[in-house]
Structure 1
């Protein structure tokens, strides 16, 4: 049984906007990337993602990992293109270090946030938003409490994610296949990606209903990578076909759900998973939400698309 105060807090969140249509905000981490990939150059990848967003009139957010490219003029130009196109730009550190790692100090992590912020705040579309790398908010009370105080002092929002995906792992599969066979048919990977997105979307929608008795505006986590350069338009169509409304991240963050501050001692969690754990709940079937696309990778191996040795 939850304490009375917790029950009252939880009931207030359940009120929300009852009957509101399901909506989703697209956000991308780790960009802009200047690393080489098969088929598309960094400039082509960036342009392809922005073109898909423009075609479908999607306003999104890019969370910049400075060391991936924006610390160089050619990469900074790619980040600027997002702001010029009307998208938001947020902070995702310099080197994507892991706050939960024993060797990562609180001071080091905070210095990377400040370094990234000094660069991106001059770009159009800048928002005072920070997203934790790996969605890990610290493995000790000192780190977790230190980061909460730091973000508050700097006026930075914790840009939470509710609809977490493992698109990064399917991107690794795509790059591995094309590196070995540049002309390979990538349709099976496209299919696996869309199936993964659908499974996650439906599962997190169901989880929000279990927790709050309503649909919430979901914040979707994707990555600035080759997979989305090739298949983002298909992903957008998937959500439209599901009947979901595509909204701005700013609008999603206005929901009361994003004021939640659950205890998050476990690594890499959707806000909804964290909320469920804080309440002592174990939603049915949530194991699929905690893997890294394992089922999709298994099926790709079974189809012979990926070698058995692929990790």
Structure 2
């Protein structure tokens, strides 16, 4: 094994050993983070301002501090969107960087220099917001299709003083959001009963991912880690974020802050593979040579099972 990789995974072993000495420190917790906001795109049922207010209200109801990763070109580069982002910072949530226009660093058409400019342009805008932290979330959770891009971004972020705002609990809430919007566009008057299958699919999908990523963390680290959940600034979370938070509590999970989650040593790891990405846990597993079959395809699909089940119900 490569020497640097050996040292990194030695740290994993040491961290895992700590749980034997102090297991009470590692009860399962989850931090909530939201990408692609604030999004000024039109949706049925709620305006951008109403969606933003609904998510903030659900977080406030449960006294949760979260993080919003701003894709500035989706609205924060306009006064009305900037005000929505400011509301997150004023409520005590972290404001992080998610580029200007959400390009894919894995694309051959996106150069390292272009991607770095996207980060810098977004930084200039969000640096004016309360709650601003130098946290960067890779778009699509992809860190580049070449080692040059991967290493170039790691050096770039370090020079700027940015942390890689990893996700461990990746979800496809965006796919179920697309289905929700599709149903409402066809039937704007759809009531709670008509939408209930989508709500159940959303909650079931995130529960399945949460349990699977918890099991993967235990497998790779020998302990529970504070999970960082990826959600999006969209309609489905505006409608049912309160239900999701209550589900986590019913599962016995506690809600932590992103800052407290990132204090765990697991988030200092840098998986040593040519093109890491997706959940940090998946990237760690691949660094150890685990295959897709070893890791579980349900952690890598885009909510396919839930979408197929909804189609079977006529949605």
SS for the counterpart of 1:238 is helix
Counterpart in 2 of 1:128? Answer: 134
**Of 48, 51, 66, which aligns to 2:72?**
66
Cα deviation for residue 285 of structure 1 reads: 5.7
**Structure 1: gaps (5+ residues):** 306-311
**Of 181, 187, 203, which aligns to 1:181?**
187
Rounded to whole Å, the distance in 2 between the matches of 1:256 and 1:121 is: 27
**Structure 2: gaps (5+ residues):** none
Rounded to whole Å, the distance in 2 between the matches of 1:210 and 1:274 is: 14
Rounded to whole Å, the distance in 1 between the matches of 2:85 and 2:16 is: 37
Q: Is the 8 A contact 1:134 1:267 kept in 2?
A: no
Counterpart in 2 of 1:308? Answer: none
Q: Is the 8 A contact 1:136 1:267 kept in 2?
A: yes
Counterpart in 1 of 2:59? Answer: 53
**Of 107, 111, 118, which aligns to 1:105?**
111
Tell me if 1:149 matches 2:168: no
Cα deviation for residue 280 of structure 1 reads: 1.4
Tell me if 1:12 matches 2:14: yes
SS for the counterpart of 2:107 is coil
Over 3 Å counting, the alpha-carbon distance change for 1:28 and 1:7 in structure 2 is closer
Q: Is the 8 A contact 1:137 1:264 kept in 2?
A: no
Tell me if 1:84 matches 2:90: yes
Q: Is the 8 A contact 2:8 2:269 kept in 1?
A: no
Tell me if 1:159 matches 2:165: yes
**Of 206, 229, 247, which aligns to 2:215?**
206
**Of 28, 32, 52, which aligns to 1:26?**
32
Cα deviation for residue 7 of structure 1 reads: 5.3
**Of 279, 287, 310, which aligns to 1:300?**
310
**What's the TM-score, normalizing by structure 1?**
0.95
Counterpart in 2 of 1:288? Answer: 298
Rounded to whole Å, the distance in 2 between the matches of 1:284 and 1:127 is: 36
1:157-205 Cα shifts (integer Å, max 9, x gaps): 0000000000000000000110111122211100000000100000000
Cα deviation for residue 6 of structure 1 reads: 5.7
Cα deviation for residue 8 of structure 1 reads: 2.7
**What's the TM-score, normalizing by structure 2?**
0.93
Cα deviation for residue 2 of structure 1 reads: 8.9
Cα deviation for residue 235 of structure 1 reads: 0.6
Counterpart in 2 of 1:309? Answer: none
SS for the counterpart of 1:29 is strand
Over 3 Å counting, the alpha-carbon distance change for 1:265 and 1:299 in structure 2 is farther
SS for the counterpart of 1:219 is strand
Over 3 Å counting, the alpha-carbon distance change for 1:66 and 1:5 in structure 2 is closer
C-alpha root-mean-square deviation of aligned residues, in Å?
A: 1.6
Cα deviation for residue 216 of structure 1 reads: 0.3
Over 3 Å counting, the alpha-carbon distance change for 1:32 and 1:264 in structure 2 is farther
SS for the counterpart of 1:63 is strand
Tell me if 1:192 matches 2:196: no
Q: What is the number of equivalent residue pairs in this alignment?
A: 305
Rounded to whole Å, the distance in 1 between the matches of 2:121 and 2:8 is: 38
